[in-house]
Amino acid sequence: MRIWIDATSPQSLLPVFGMTLVERHLATLAAIGLGQAEVMIALPADTPEQPVLPAVLTKKLNVRWLSEPGSLQERLGRVLQEKPDEPLLALEGDAIIDARLLQYLAAQSGAMAVCAGDGTVRTAVLRLEGQLPLSDAVEGRLSRLADLCLVRKTLASLPLASVPSYIKKLRRDLPIYLFRVTDAVSRDRAERFLFWSNYKGSTDFFTKYVYPPLVWRMVRPLTRWRVHPNSVTAVSIVATFLAVPFFAWEWWWTGFALSYVMSVLDSVDGKVARLTFTSSGLGNVLDHGLDIVHPPLWYFGWAWGLSQGATDSLVFQAAIWMLVIYALDRIVAAVFNKRLGKSIHGYKPLDERMRTVISRRNINLPVFILGWLLGFPVQTFLLIVLWQIVCFVFHVERLVQFWNNGHVAASAT
């Protein structure tokens, strides 16, 4: 597989979340496992010098710059003639292309085209084999060539709707997207679309409805400054563990402030990672590991502060039960995912609704703060423990109810 990117349009250098559109193409290719493919980037014939790419991309990709005269058809024809036996993906440099679409096209066989948009915002991706599918002279963009080929049936049409759209990591269906960015206005529109596209389909009420405006205002400057998501996670880790002693010392407002720093940054680092293709194994371990480990530490910090260190008190014993049930609940969720191949939080609409208020940090934290403000912190903590038990029972019931569906899914596979 070879890749050809037509970056002759000035819009190819428009930055989206701190990366030019060409950089985003390259990062996408590296992310989907096409880093070893030969990637050719076509520049205008009068380009004085090649753009400078981040070292992290040049290390992962085999990039070749082309600055040759001729029409799009002539330049593309020369590239195809170099290695006619290898399939070629042809992309427009000023487009936003769903990584799932490129991954799907790379796995197919045959010549085909997928188009989207109308008029000046129309764009296309072509999968070519052998010679150009059209011998007539074509003026204009790659999308113009694609449209003519589809009309004359020299290329098969690939509808976007035919590409699998479920994203397991985000627990949601997201239609495959392909669109062109033409100016600053459409760039801003693209950033907002990509931002919302990276939210999980099922998540808690606060992450879904309360945090996004603040997360949006943090993600845009962080990506433009090219702040690595692991740096955001590091700040989050410090705030997480620093909150525990403040809870135990009954410095409640300081503990709450640190907790919300962590809670918001937990949304920010994931968005930065996905929007800039900077996810890493270490980042995933730190982020998800922190999500799993820290809630019991906070609960014990609350219990210690409320009981003033009396480990035989009701509230401290309740914290122990909270830890046990929380761990069992996590195990049930993991077993469900392994058995059914889908998250317990997004298996059915009921599970998605339950996830909105499930016993997790972002729900328990504001409930505890409210109870503390009203003067019933101990009673509120016991209510949180009870809610954890109810959620655990609910998940066990869902696991038992759909257990046999795992056999059906395995047979279908």
Element (DSSP H or E) covering residue 293 = helix 281-307
**DSSP 3-state assignment of 115?**
strand
Rounded CA gap, 351 and 337, in Å? 13
Whether 195 is covered by a domain: the verdict is: no
216 and 162 co-located in one domain:
no
β-pairing, 156-157 with 123-128?
unpaired
Q: Give the model's pLDDT for residue 407.
A: 55
Q: Which of 109, 141, 166 is a domain's end point? A: 166
Q: Is residue 187 in a domain?
A: no
Q: CATH number for the domain including 364?
A: 1.20.120.1760
Mean pLDDT by 10 residues, the chain (413 residues): 94 95 95 89 87 86 89 88 93 96 95 93 94 75 91 94 92 94 95 95 94 97 95 96 97 98 96 93 86 95 96 96 97 96 94 96 97 97 98 98 74 43
Q: What one-letter code names the amino acid at 288? A: H
Q: Do residues 132 and 218 both lie within one domain?
A: no
Asked if 42 and 122 sit in the same domain, the reply is yes
63 and 119 part of one domain: yes
| Dist. CA 241–CA 393, nearest whole Å | 29
User: Alpha helix (H) ranges present in 17-71?
Assistant: 21-31, 55-58
175 falls within a domain: no
Q: Is residue 174 part of a domain?
A: no
Q: Which helix (H) or strand (E) holds 371?
A: helix 361-374
Q: State whether 142 and 70 are in the same domain.
A: yes
CB atoms within 10 A of CB 14: 21
What is the number of structural domains in the chain? 2
Residue 381 lies in a domain: yes
Domain harbouring 19, CATH code = 3.90.550.10
159 shares its domain with 206: no
Q: Looking at the domain assignment, is residue 173 inside a domain? A: no
Q: How far apart (Å, rounded) are the C-alpha atoms in residues 399 and 326?
A: 16
Question: Within this chain, do residues 253 and 210 fall inside the same structural domain, yes or no?
Answer: yes
Q: Which tokens sit at 317?
A: 């014993």
In this structure, are 221 and 275 located in the same domain? yes
Q: Which of 113, 143, 166 is the last residue of a domain?
A: 166
Q: Phi/psi at 68 (nearest 5 deg)?
A: -125, 150
CA atoms within 13 A on the CB side of 54: 15
Residue 179 falls inside a structural domain? no
Residues 58 and 143 in one domain: yes
Element (H, E) at 317: helix 314-340
DSSP designation for 357: T
Integer-rounded Cα Rg, in Å, for the chain is 26
pLDDT of residue 410: 46
According to the model, what pLDDT value does residue 411 have? 45
Same domain, 90 and 230: no
Burial class of residue 353 (count of CB atoms within 10 Å of its CB; 0-12, 13-18, 19+): exposed
The whole domain housing 77 covers 2-166
Nearest to 181 by CA among 117, 89, 112, 138: 117
The answer to whether 41 and 5 have CB atoms below 8 angstroms apart is: yes
Residue 172 is assigned to a structural domain of this protein: no
Question: Judging by beta carbons within 10 Å of its beta carbon (0-12, 13-18, 19+), is residue 253 exposed, middle or buried?
Answer: exposed
Q: 131 and 232 share a domain?
A: no
**To 5 degrees, how large is the angle CA 138–CA 142–CA 145?**
40
Look at residues 113, 141, 166 and tell me which one is the last residue of a structural domain.
166
Q: Residues 6 or more apart from 136 whose CB is under 8 A from it?
A: 148
Which residues, listed in sequence order, are joined to residue 39 by a DSSP beta bridge? Answer: 3, 63
Assess whether 58 and 103 both reside in one domain. Answer: yes
Q: Which helix (H) or strand (E) holds 82?
A: helix 72-82
3-state secondary structure of 180: strand
